[in-house]
Structure 1
Amino acid sequence: MTSSLMADKYRRGPDYRFGVDVDFSEVRTTFGLRAISVGRWVNNEERQRAANLVYDALADLTQILAVPPEVIGLRQSLTLAFAQGGRLGVQAHYQSSTRTLALAKNAGSGAFAHEWWHAFDHYISRFLFTGPTPQRAFASKLWLSRNDYNEHRLNQPLLQLLPHILLNEQRTDSSAYLKRCALLDASAGQYYLAMPEELSARAFEHYVQNAEIKNQYLVSGTKQGELARLGAFPNDQEAAQLAPCFSRYFAALGSSISRAPKAIERSTKPY
């Protein structure tokens, strides 16, 4: 376990690269991404630094989730865009229409895990239900209005997770977490924090930040940020209920894939 400062971002985790630079083509093949695009205004120094940061962040995520690296690319359906096609004032975002996770050049860090969950939430919707699903739908949102669940064993932890996020223990009312976020939305005159897909994404990034591996490029702000202070993340009791569901799901997913996630191997060959 090594510690380092990535400019102003802290990281504590294994040295997967052994101090050697990687490029974005290696990021793409290692993590099974469909493609990576980089903005034309990114110079060579910025491109190299970004490739290393993204590689380490995704490697950390695979270790935290205990999954093989290729899981990150969601069967090569996910595209990563760096400093390209972003939204003004937004650190990162996921575009469901193109299945693209976009990171801003100078402000994309810290939201990586949150946006990856959006990509996963979108991807898994087609497998969580037996009937057809809308092309841009998120599983967490569909769960509220659908009951045609696919009872596959890999889906069981997810079907336990979503009620913990959205409903109370008796499943008779909204969860306290949802209610807190609904009140925050009401005070701001919006509907955003209480959206199921946002509730689940914040629960996931909180889970990731609770891991022993620390990477502020991957996730930050779920403990001491402004939204954390306002109660927009799960509290300790809620997080303790959610963590086993996240862990069981990704452990089952990892064991179902032939290549065991023992370590990140540097290779330009797809798994």
Structure 2
Amino acid sequence: MQRSKVILNSPKIAIGSRADKYWSENGFLDYSKFIRPNLDLPKSLSYGSNPDLLRTKFGIAEIGFGNWVTNEDRFNYVNGLIISLYDLNKLMNIDYFLGLGLLSVSFGARGAGSALAHYESQTKIINVTRYHRGDESKLARFVATGGMGSFAHEYGHFLDYVGGEYVSPHPQVFALTGGRSVSRSRMPCNDRQRLRVITNDLLEKIIWKVPNKTPSAYYTRLAKFMMANGIESDYLIRRNELFARWFEAWVSLKLRSMNIQNKLLSQAKYSPLIYPTENEVREVDKIFQDFMKEFKSGYFIG
């Protein structure tokens, strides 16, 4: 993965400092307040495009950038990532170490077809696509296009695969969810594999109203959407995608309850019909909270 030597060798730039004023006057515009309004980072997080902070505080193994990502873009993507991990920690409560020393993040360097963002389970890399070209201002395109709004979804994939590899391993099923499986049945596990049991409970709730008898309103709605739009791919109903989509919706709902909007973490890019409603997310809130507690205890204590 290509590193940004310019950013990695740059000092941190504090808001209001002479360096901050210099970059603002010479082309480095800070988009942080547009990515995350009402920003409240504590001073201990040393705000200001500091990749070393991502490694030492947040456990991000490596940051990569594509050739078309400018230094100003790198400045803002790094800041956005720091802010997003800070917000995610409000829900996970693992002392900021969300990357676990395993996760790498790439901005605009590892595109995959038409995907706005994607997670590579073998290399443990989240790629966020660069903002799109267009006639609107760069700020408008930066905060609303490309992979912006996709990080929570991809981090959900990270939890799924890392949880299956390190917290609750299984000889036949790698990911907690069963990965790309479209099975509507519970994945094999035993009662001692608590994280897998919780994941099964969650997906059963997502898929079924009455287990193995009556599909849920959400699953029925999703099937109708696919049929109405002639979608033959099974992508939307894969178990790993259902988990990540509902995790994204859960993160968004929980942060909104704290009056937090984070445009790198989550913003709807597709039809609302593929997402759960707020009431549906509230019905699985307890399951997600149990998942986070079990993940934390299994990874850091177990």
Q: TM-score range by the shorter chain?
A: 0.7 to 0.9
CA distance in 1, matches of 2:60, 2:245: 23
CA distance in 1, matches of 2:122, 2:56: 23
Alignment of 1:197 with 2:240, yes or no, is yes
Structure 2 partner of 1:176: 217
One-letter amino acid of the structure 1 residue matched with residue 190 of structure 2: Y
**Identical aligned pairs, as a percentage?**
24
What does the per-residue CA deviation read over 1:122-156, in whole Å, with 9 as the maximum and x for residues that have no partner?
Answer: 2222344543435xx56254684632335244554
**Structure with more relative contact order (C-alpha pairs < 8 Å, separation 6 or more):** 1
Q: How does 1:50-69 map to 2 (within 5 A)?
A: 50-69=77-96
Structure 1 partner of 2:3: none
CA distance in 2, matches of 1:199, 1:12: 31
CA distance in 2, matches of 1:6, 1:180: 36
Q: How does 1:20-169 map to 2 (within 5 A)?
A: 20-70=47-97, 72-73=98-99, 75-106=100-131, 107-126=146-165, 127-128=167-168, 130-134=170-174, 137=175, 139-141=177-179, 144=185, 146-149=187-190, 151-169=192-210
2:287 pairs, out of 245, 251, 262, with 245
One-letter amino acid of the structure 2 residue matched with residue 220 of structure 1: Q
Number of residue-to-residue matches in the alignment: 247
Q: How far is 1:50 from its partner?
A: 1.2
Distance 1:76 1:10, change over 3 A: closer
Distance 1:257 1:129, change over 3 A: closer
- Between 102-111 and 38-47, report the one with greater CA deviation: 38-47
Instruction: Name which one, 1 or 2, has greater alpha-carbon Rg.
Output: 2
TM-align CA RMSD? 2.9
Q: How far is 1:173 from its partner?
A: 3.8
Q: How far is 1:51 from its partner?
A: 0.8
Q: How far is 1:258 from its partner?
A: 6.6
Structure 1: stretches of 5+ with no match in the other structure: 260-271
